[in-house]
Structure 1
Amino acid sequence: MRILIVIAHPLADSFTASVAATAKVALERNGHSVDLLDLYVEDFDPRLNERERSGYFDIPYDTTAVDGIVARLRAADGLILVFPQWWFNFPAILKGFFDRVFAPGVAFDHERSGGRILPRLTNIRLLWALTTTGSPWWVVQFYMGNPVRRLLKRGIAAFCAKDVSFRMISLHDMDRVTAEQRKAHLARIEKAVARI
């Protein structure tokens, strides 16, 4: 498979970067091709601009400003997102990635009669999220209702790809985990990704 790994963290030496590197090595060891897209390194602009928003219902929708990334997404069989959860949500740069790249004509089509959107990312068969969060698991799950998982699985995956294999692996309470717990989490990531 050709896997696009998207990283969203401003620090090159972050634990997020370690998770992405672990996933990349495990995938390549099993013969997969990996395209690593680090949104910060590539200086991705997350802001949906006036032209993009005003032409949102144009056919074809103009993706000129992000055509390079659109081509990488279209070339992929699988997508792995690696990011921290901040305030129970995506980092702004990753949200902007969805706003600008998961656009009409790329990730979905508008149904002509209005209302529904029709999945267009038929090439994506796997969508995984490898995340960290500073909150304990019970706060994320029970108090907040696991919003990132819901947005990814019920929103982005369901509306943009058909029959996609979805999985989310999170390290909770990130600010208090020990070095041993981080090491164990990386081993968990390696083991899970090796099954792809």
Structure 2
Amino acid sequence: MRILLVLAHPLEDSFAAAMAKAAQDTLAAGGHEVDLLDLYREGFDPRLSQAERGGYFNHPYDTSGVDDIVARLRAAEGLILVFPQWWFNFPAILKGFFDRAFAPGVAFTHDPAGGRIVPKLTNIRLFWALTTTGSPWWIVHLYMGNPVRRLLKRGIAAFCAKRLNFRMLALHDMDRVTDAGRKAHLARIRNVLANIR
């Protein structure tokens, strides 16, 4: 399987980077083709431009500012996102990735009659998220209602294949997790990714 692995963290020595490395190595060892898109290292600009927003309903929509990323997204059969949750949400650079790359004509087409949008990323049949939170599990799930998972599964995943393999692996209470806990989480990531076929 060809997998687009998207990393969204500014620090090269972050735990997110360690998760991405574990994922990349495990997937490659399993025979998958892995395309690592490190948004910070590749200098991705998350800002939706005035022209991009102004032409949102133009046909065809102009994706020239992100053509390379769009090509990588269209070539993928799997999409794995690696990111921390800040303020119970995506890092701004990852939100910008959705804003700019999941564009009309790429992720969906508008219904000219104003009805439902039509998904176009049906090439994506596996969509996983590897993430961390600074908050404990009960705050994320019980108090906040797990907003990132909801956004990914009910919103963004809706643009992908109908029988999508969706999964989210999260390490909660990150600021208090021990080294042993971090190592155990990396082992868990390796274990579940090794079973992707």
- TM (norm. structure 2) is 0.98
Does 2:182 correspond to 1:195? no
Aligned to 2:69: 69
Whether 1:89 and 2:62 are equivalent positions in the alignment is no
Deviations 1:70-109 (A, max 9, x none): 0000010000000000000000000000000000000111
| Residue 155 (structure 1) aligns with | 155
Match of 2:5 in 1: 5
Contact preservation (8 Å) 1:121, 1:162: no
Q: Output the amino acid matched with 1:149.
A: R
Match of residue 166 from structure 2:
166
Aligned-residue offset at 1:55: 0.4
Aligned partner of residue 175 in structure 1, secondary structure: helix
Give the superposition deviation at 1:59. Answer: 0.7
Structure 2, unpaired ranges of 5+: none
Cα deviation for residue 117 of structure 1 reads 1.1
Aligned to 2:17: 17
Superposed displacement of residue 190, structure 1: 0.2
Map 1:7-156 to 2 at 5 A.
Answer: 7-156=7-156
Q: CA RMSD in A?
A: 0.7
Aligned pairs, number: 196
AA partner of residue 120 (structure 1): K
Once residues 194 and 159 of structure 2 are traced to their aligned partners in structure 1, the CA distance between those partners, rounded to angstroms, is: 27
Distance 1:59 1:116 in 2: 17
Structure 1: runs of 5+ lacking an equivalent:
none
**CA–CA distance in 2 between the matches of 1:161 and 1:118?**
12
Q: Distance in 1 between matches of 2:159 and 2:124?
A: 12
Alpha-carbon displacement from aligned partner over 1:23-54 (angstroms, at most 9, x marks no partner):
11110111000000000000100000100001
SS in 1 for 2:128: strand
SS of residue in 1 equivalent to 2:80: strand
C-alpha distance in structure 2 between counterparts of 1:67 and 1:159, whole Å: 19
Q: Is the 8 A contact 1:5 1:20 kept in 2?
A: yes
Question: Alpha carbons of 1:40 and 1:76: their partners in 2 closer, same or farther (altered >3 Å)?
Answer: same
Cα distance in 1 for residues equivalent to 2:13 and 2:183: 15
Q: Is the 8 A contact 1:6 1:81 kept in 2?
A: yes
Distance 1:21 1:132 in 2: 15
* Distance of 1:43 and 1:63 partners within structure 2: 17
